Amino acid sequence: MTMTANGPAVKLLCDEMPGRPGRYLRAAGYDTAIGAAGEHDRALLARAIAENRPLPTCDRGMLARRGAAGRVMAVPHGGLDESAQREDRRAG
């Protein structure tokens, strides 16, 4: 795991979410891998597990897959800006 001045760096794996948030996360400096076009959920989840990367997604079906617990993170619909604002409010 890569370390930063503030602790361990987060390494993510994103699917093909609408709006391409994976590209935004990568541009913001996060170590973000992006699933291939049309990559099946099963293969994407296996890759997230193998690479020890959280998998943020809007795909509710992905949350129900075996092995998803603790690996797949539900991202609310509404766009990246709205999600970031919601997290800021939650953090206090």
pLDDT digits (tens, 9 = 90+) for 44-76: 999 999 999 999 888 888 989 998 998 998 887
Indicate the pTM of the whole model: 0.71
pLDDT of residue 29: 86
**Residue 21 to residues 30, 34, 67, Cα–Cα distance (Å):** 11, 10, 23
What is the rounded CA–CA span in Å between residue 88 and residue 92?
6
Q: Are 14 and 56 in contact (CB under 8 A)?
A: yes
Query: Partners of 57 in the beta sheet?
Result: 74
* Domain ranges for the chain: 8-91
**Mean confidence (pLDDT) of the chain:** 80
| Whether residue 3 has pLDDT greater than 60 | no
Which CATH architecture best describes the domain 8-91?
Answer: 3-Layer(aba) Sandwich (3.40)
